[in-house]
Amino acid sequence: MSAHPLTIGVAGLGTVGGGVLKLLADNADVVAARAGRPIVVTAVSARDRSRDRGLNTAGLRWYDDAAALAGDPGVDVVVELIGGSEGPARDLVEAALRAGKPVVTANKALLALRGAELAQLAGTTPLAFEAAVAGGIPAIKALREGLAANNITRVAGILNGTCNYILTTMREQGREFADVLAEAQKLGYAESDPSFDIDGIDAAHKLTILAALAFGRPVDFSAVHVEGIREVSALDFQMAEDLGYRIKLLGIAERTEAGISTRVHPCMVPQAAPIARVDGVFNAVEVVGDQCGRVVLQGRGAGAGPTASAVVADLIDIARGRHTPVWGAPLAAAPSVPMARHTGCYYLRLMVVDRPGVIADVTGVLRDNSISLESMLQRGRAPGEAVPVVLTTHECEEAGMRAAIARIEALAAVMEKPALIRIEPA
Ligand SMILES: NC(=O)c1ccc[n+]([C@@H]2O[C@H](COP(=O)([O-])OP(=O)(O)OC[C@H]3O[C@@H](n4cnc5c(N)ncnc54)[C@H](OP(=O)(O)O)[C@@H]3O)[C@@H](O)[C@H]2O)c1
């Protein structure tokens, strides 16, 4: 083992930054053995120097300006754990890459929105981001290295632990979304402003990164169709159970003949599908390759330990001199398939007045849009009152389904906005 340590500067001493300092102290021996030399923190940056973080920062150089870490000659590698696609995180990463210093980051927003230009700036300097997708699950390494020999056709995953926790609790306890979200906020599983998570944006950032790695197309966050989980109701969970499905927020990237589709939205997945059983705060990533078939990885997608585990794995690679291009290969533009062209099966729940002829009106609209029904379920009877009616369809095109829903919603007997959830194959 070399006695010459790899020195690192850590910007951001919150959940992840604190976790990295702790892991490097707790597992110093195993990390040094695998890195071939010790990995030593020499400098740090955060906003509030006086905060008690429960960390031993004695003897470490402190920078109020995170970007100054890049110019510290006693820092070999910059670790960015501040977060955000602009501001201090971006300034630091750019300053470090300009100075030719390797960067390790957990920042999915930065990678999803600025990943192409950062890769260009990096050139042959390592820019590593295992922690940016699915926390402790080595999804990036699996795609970029372990499965590198495959033509990948699909990457799908449960990419946001907050959403998976909320959906799992709604199913297990038969509770409504708003009620479970409020509890998750109290327990610290959801932020006080939860929109980034529950509106699917965080999952879309991660999917953008996975799609670039899987398909070699430039990161393009704007191409991702994004829907969150606010509109999923307790009733949909009951219906899903009866139909043999679980409801999950999935990020799905697929290569089709028409191009690459990337979408994040609630899905009905068959109860027997491996991803259907990934519950609570856990994440999962599923990759389908032409040679390897389906590979499913699951584990903790967030938290100090799992995320630090991924950050330090990147540091070990850098210490060993193991390095692949930022996106695994040069990126080449590929057409994106708009959501209107998506084809799949659909779950549609309507609240309709229980009176003769209503179902015939609804099925007439579906027929006019070339949509064929797979099943129909009506719960209870209450003449003259609203009752739920659930329809599942055979494969059809999203544009036709949207047109049908607009007409169904306008029917006098339809009392609420129809609920639509896409059905994914096992
Ligand atoms: N939390 C997770 O489980 C998780 C999982 C995967 C990826 N990530 C990613 O990891 C990154 C960090 O997340 P986190 O949860 O650790 O965030 P966090 O707990 O909010 O910590 C952010 C840290 O950045 C520091 N900071 C903010 N502005 C700064 C500035 N201008 N200069 C220097 N330091 C500054 C803060 O300083 P103060 O402490 O002084 O306020 C704090 O220590 C984000 O990109 C996030 O998306 C997090």
Q: Which atom of ligand 1 is nearest to the CA of 88?
A: 31
Q: Is the CB of 216 under 6 A from ligand 1?
A: no
Residue 1 has pLDDT above 80, yes or no: no
Q: Say whether 206 is catalytic.
A: yes
Q: Is the CB of 135 under 6 A from ligand 1?
A: yes
CA of 186 to the centre of ligand 1 (A): 20
Q: Where are the domains of the chain?
A: 6-132, 139-300, 340-423
Q: What is the pLDDT of residue 168?
A: 98
Are the C-beta atoms of residues 398 and 340 closer than 8 Å to each other?
yes
Hey, which of 202, 307, 312, 314 would you mutate to test ligand 1's pocket, going by the most ligand atoms within 8 Å of its Cβ? 307
Q: What is the pLDDT of residue 3?
A: 72
Rounded-to-integer distance, Cα 198 and Cα 262, Å: 18
Q: Which fold has domain 139-300?
A: Dihydrodipicolinate Reductase; domain 2 (3.30.360)
Q: Encode 356-367: b = buried (16+ Cβ within 10 Å), e = exposed.
A: eebbeebbebbe
Q: Please give the single-letter amino acid code of residue 44.
A: V
Are the C-beta atoms of residues 122 and 326 closer than 8 Å to each other?
yes
Rounded-to-integer distance, Cα 201 and Cα 321, Å: 34
Q: Give the torsion through C-alpha atoms of 380, 383, 389, 394, to 10 deg.
A: 110
Are the C-beta atoms of residues 78 and 17 closer than 8 Å to each other?
no
Give which of 421, 417, 401 is closest to 350, Cα–Cα: 417
Q: Please give the single-letter amino acid code of residue 62.
A: W
> Is 139-300's fold the same as 340-423's?
no
Residue 383 has pLDDT above 90, yes or no: no
Q: Is the CB of 9 under 6 A from ligand 1?
A: no
User: How is residue 230 annotated by DSSP?
Assistant: T
Which protein residue's CA is at the shortest distance from atom 17 of ligand 1? 14
Q: Is the CB of 57 under 6 A from ligand 1?
A: no
Q: Please give the single-letter amino acid code of residue 50.
A: S
Mean residue pLDDT across the chain? 95
Q: Is the CB of 170 under 6 A from ligand 1?
A: no
Least confident residue range of 136-140, 356-360, 378-382, 401-405 = 378-382
Rounded-to-integer distance, Cα 396 and Cα 375, Å: 14
Distances (CA, A) of 78 to 90, 128, 318, 327: 12, 11, 11, 19
Q: Decide yes or no: CATH 3.40.50.720 for domain 6-132.
A: yes
User: How is residue 336 annotated by DSSP?
Assistant: B
CA of 75 to the centre of ligand 1 (A): 20
Residues 113-167: tens digit of each pLDDT? 999 999 999 999 999 999 999 999 999 999 999 999 999 999 999 999 999 999 9
Residue in the structure block whose two tokens are 């197309």: 217
The token duo for 360 is 């015939």
CA of 256 to the centre of ligand 1 (A): 37
Rounded-to-integer distance, Cα 276 and Cα 296, Å: 12
Q: Please give the single-letter amino acid code of residue 85.
A: S
Q: Strand 373-378 vs strand 259-270: parallel, antiparallel, or unpaired?
A: unpaired
Q: Which fold has domain 340-423?
A: Alpha-Beta Plaits (3.30.70)
Rounded-to-integer distance, Cα 204 and Cα 73, Å: 37
Catalytic residue (choose from 101, 206, 248, 417): 206
Q: Name the pLDDT band for 190 (thresholds 50, 70, 90).
A: confident
CA of 205 to the centre of ligand 1 (A): 17
Are the C-beta atoms of residues 315 and 239 closer than 8 Å to each other?
no
